[in-house]
Amino acid sequence: MSAVHVKRAFRFRFRPTDAQAAELLRTFGCVRLVYNRALAARSEAWTARGERVGYGATSAMLTAWKRTEELSFLAEVSSVPLQQALRHLQTAFTNFWQRRAKHPRFKSKKRSRDSAEYTRSAFRYRDGRLTLAKMPEPLDIVWSRPLPGGATPSTVTVSRDAAGRWFVSMLCDDPGIRPLPVLDSAVGLDVGVTSLVTLSTGEKIPNPKHERADRERLARAQRALARKAQGSANWEKARRKVARVHARIADRRRDHLHKLTTRLVRENQAVVIEDLTVRSLLRNRKLSRAVADCSWSELRAILTYKCVWYGRELITVDRWFPSSKLCGACGTIRDTMPLTVRDWECGCGAVHDRDINAARNILAAGLAAAACGDGVRPQRSTPGGQSSMKQEVVPPPRSRAAARSRG
């Protein structure tokens, strides 16, 4: 099989020297300032004159800003991350105009992620040593895994998270990613809280509940933070401790999702999931914490790109498909199915495990839809209680997050 041309980001921790950390912090601040000023200028031009200001105009603005006494410090850092910030703003506006995203927002010093992107003209990579512009010494990178043989980064993104950890992300061509051998197997997934994923094979993947496991540690750190005077040195230390607990939870959750999705993609030619809406569930105060800990949106996002990488098919079933209430044996749909009901018996005598039955119904509906090139809309019950299957075209969502609890 021919290899797929894939650009893949490889992220590593690194330990900056004091001089490198100071230079990067200055760069982060300048990137944020340029982005916010350009956003304000573009928004004002549209509000006042109905004029769309593009990347070229904001680039000229940046040149003018550097010549002023007030913003002359912008010339002291590498110009490439500043230009990249303007390109990212242009992309954000393009997505907004095409209704793929909301209007761009201003970057906050406290809430936004510190990052700067360097293109090839602003870094040097030789023999495993990466040197950024305005820095005489290479970065001390912790090489947790090797880059693909002969790979040269096309862009490098340096960032610092809320816990104070420094990362460098290198975007490279990865020739090792190629379609896997074609299989005859397919699997349906029903996501939930008790079991993170239930497979149509009958297997249930337990939910590790990473946030619950560290909840006591997180509560202690948050109580310690609440006792400190905001803005003090001790408050900053306590804030870092809270951020480290959150980072530990997120890292463990992401690692588990990567292992699970890799296994599903390797073992199945087609994966069928539901198009769920997590955002509405997060408004439920009784479910929001558990739903957020499951991270169904990230599960779907990882599955999406891994299926593309390895030549698999990801089939999405409409969110209103009654997978839990539908009897997989006779097709009867129950009127109600509370979350407390985990096992139920149909009038035809079939006894169902709620989650396994839902996963099998999702698989059957997805395969039927894929066979005729359609998506799946809700089934409608006939007066006699039997269901009437109806297939309609459902275009795959572009940016809708996964969502709906299965308990």
- Please count the CA atoms within 13 angstroms of the CA of 236 that sit on its side-chain side: 5
Residue that the structure tokens 């401790």 belong to: 241
> How many angstroms separate the CA atoms of 321 and 309, rounded?
28
Residue from 23, 275, 293, 355 carrying the catalytic annotation: 355
190 is an active site residue: yes
293 is an active site residue: no
Q: Counting every residue, how long is the chain?
A: 407
Sorted by sequence, the CB contacts under 8 Å of residue 102 that are 6+ apart come out as 96
Sorted by sequence, the CB contacts under 8 Å of residue 278 that are 6+ apart come out as 291, 296, 297, 401, 402, 403, 404
Residue from 190, 211, 275, 293 carrying the catalytic annotation: 190
51 is an active site residue: no
> How many angstroms separate the CA atoms of 322 and 377, rounded?
9
3-state SS, residue 10: strand
Buried b (16+ CB within 10 A) or exposed e, 285-301: eeeeebbebbbbbbbbe
Which ranges of 310-375 would DSSP assign to H, the alpha helix? 354-372
The helix or strand, by DSSP H or E, that contains position 199, with its residue range, turns out to be strand 195-199
**How many beta carbons lie within 10 A of that of residue 46, not counting itself?**
13
The amino acid at residue 234 is N
CB 378 within 8 A of CB 320: yes
DSSP state of 120: G
The helix or strand, by DSSP H or E, that contains position 304, with its residue range, turns out to be helix 296-309
Give the pair of three-digit tokens for residue 322.
């009654």
Residue from 174, 211, 274, 293 carrying the catalytic annotation: 274
Active site residues: 190, 274, 355
